[in-house]
């Protein structure tokens, strides 16, 4: 039998070395691009789509928790469909696109730049549309990603955003804004996540409905896990904040359902008959919890790959999808 998803597997395995190679450079480049304006931003606007949008949500928590700067996730159609300019105040606008080709993200950056705001691009593609428009760019530098499913570019985007927050915080100074140098996933962790995902992949395949649950920094991980299961394995999966899940959706969590949990055992939900599939816990100290989602999502990536294989699907060539998606 053909073993599908070889490119996705290879790119999952690359993440430890690729992140280690680039993480310090991200910090240096962020510091160089933003240090002179570090104490002056009144808000941050994050523009992205797909997996990059989930990385942006991760960054929102970092900016607001550690810097106290309000963050808005852009609605690009305000610019592209409705041709309106929003009156943002002294804004840092960050566009995130692994290909750098997203025209709606580029339009948002172009609009903010024309209105005098600072713009920054995060992309894996040198010379792309985003890099041409933004004031400065951070190139992920993780090598070409062959699989349609984003893996190494997703975690690299997370680390780049983490380092931007560090660079801004270190410039302002003080304990409130400080984030530590990030501990990054090890090859041993990638193997731990693989084994854990393999053990529960069969449950995901046979369960309906399937939920993905987390909160805070990890909410982005729940969303990214659900996205990966849908695009790679064609498994309908809905992500929720574990707090929002209590406000109605948990009524669906009975016998035959499963919840991928990034928040622990959830005994009350298990009592309803829902199968709880816990992600492994990264070996991180309390001060490193803000970077934990970079570790956690590797479990979700493996889960998507293994369930796709179980269903005879090839995540490297996901159905009806292409590597570069352009929307306006």
Q: What is the pLDDT of residues 262-272, one digit of tens each?
A: 999 888 898 99
**CA separation for the pair 264, 242 (Å, rounded):** 11
pLDDT at 20: 98
Q: What is the pLDDT of residues 43-94, one digit of tens each?
A: 999 999 889 999 999 999 999 999 999 999 988 788 878 888 888 999 999 9
Average of pLDDT values for 151-155? 97
**CA separation for the pair 103, 44 (Å, rounded):** 20
Reply yes or no on whether the pLDDT at 176 is more than 70. Answer: no
Average of pLDDT values for 124-146? 94
Domains 6-177 and 187-317 share a fold: yes
Reply yes or no on whether the pLDDT at 175 is more than 70. Answer: no
pLDDT at 150: 94
Q: What is the pLDDT of residues 273-313, one digit of tens each?
A: 999 999 999 999 999 999 999 999 999 999 999 999 999 99
**CA separation for the pair 197, 278 (Å, rounded):** 9
pLDDT at 148: 85
Residues near 78 by Cβ (< 8 Å), separated by ≥ 6?
Answer: 84, 86
Using pLDDT thresholds of 50, 70 and 90, give the confidence band for residue 173: very low
Q: List, in sequence order, every residue forming a beta bridge with 91; answer none if it has no partner.
A: 43
Domain boundaries, the chain: 6-177, 187-317
Using pLDDT thresholds of 50, 70 and 90, give the confidence band for residue 101: confident
Average of pLDDT values for 138-142? 97
pLDDT at 80: 74
DSSP 88-140: -SSEEEEEE-SSS--HHHHHHHHHHHHTT-EEEEEES-TT-HHHHHSSEEEE-
Gyration radius of the chain over CA positions: 19
Check residues 29 and 177 and name the one with the higher pLDDT. 29
pLDDT at 295: 98
Q: What is the pLDDT of residues 186-211, one digit of tens each?
A: 999 999 999 999 999 999 999 999 99
Helix, coil or strand: residue 215: coil
Using pLDDT thresholds of 50, 70 and 90, give the confidence band for residue 177: low
**CA separation for the pair 138, 117 (Å, rounded):** 18
Average of pLDDT values for 144-161? 95
Q: What is the pLDDT of residues 219-254, one digit of tens each?
A: 999 999 999 999 999 999 999 998 888 787 887 899
Reply yes or no on whether the pLDDT at 255 is more than 80. Answer: yes
SS3 content of the chain, % helix, strand, coil (to 5): 55, 15, 35
Q: List, in sequence order, every residue forming a beta bridge with 214; answer none if it has no partner.
A: 241
Output the CATH code of domain 6-177.
3.40.50.10490
* pTM for this model (two decimals): 0.93
CATH superfamily to which 187-317 belongs:
Glucose-6-phosphate isomerase like protein; domain 1 (3.40.50.10490)
The separation between CA 166 and the C-alpha centre of its own chain, rounded to angstroms, equals 17
């Amino acid at each position: 039998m053909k073993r599908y998803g070889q490119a996705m597997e290879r790119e999952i395995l690359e993440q430890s070395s690729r992140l280690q190679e680039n993480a310090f450079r991200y910090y240096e480049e962020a510091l160089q691009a933003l240090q002179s304006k570090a104490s002056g931003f009144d808000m941050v606007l994050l523009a992205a789509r797909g997996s990059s949008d989930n990385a942006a949500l991760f960054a929102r928590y970092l900016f607001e928790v550690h810097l106290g700067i309000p963050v808005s996730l852009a609605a690009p159609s305000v610019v592209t469909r409705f041709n309106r300019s929003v009156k943002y105040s002294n804004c840092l606008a960050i566009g995130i696109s692994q290909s750098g080709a997203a025209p709606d993200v580029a339009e948002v950056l172009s609009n903010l730049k024309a209105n005098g705001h600072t713009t920054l691009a995060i992309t894996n593609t040198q010379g792309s549309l985003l890099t041409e428009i933004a004031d400065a760019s951070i190139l992920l530098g993780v090598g070409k990603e062959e699989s349609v499913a984003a893996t190494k570019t997703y975690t690299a985007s997370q680390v780049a955003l983490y380092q931007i927050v560090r660079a801004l915080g270190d410039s302002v100074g003080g304990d409130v804004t400080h984030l530590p140098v990030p501990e990054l996933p090890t090859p041993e962790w990638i193997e731990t996540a693989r084994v854990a995902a393999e053990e529960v992949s069969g449950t995901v395949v046979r369960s309906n409905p399937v939920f993905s649950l987390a909160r805070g920094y990890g909410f982005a991980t729940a969303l990214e896990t659900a996205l990966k299961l849908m695009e790679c394995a064609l498994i309908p999966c809905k992500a929720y904040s574990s707090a929002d899940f209590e406000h109605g959706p948990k009524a669906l969590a009975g016998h035959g359902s499963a919840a991928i949990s990034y928040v622990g055992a959830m005994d009350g939900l298990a009592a309803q008959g829902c199968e709880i599939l816990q992600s492994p816990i990264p070996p991180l100290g309390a001060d490193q919890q803000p970077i934990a989602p970079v570790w956690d999502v590797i479990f979700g990536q493996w889960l998507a790959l293994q369930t796709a294989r179980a269903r005879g699907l090839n995540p490297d060539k996901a159905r009806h999808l292409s590597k570069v998606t352009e929307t306006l």
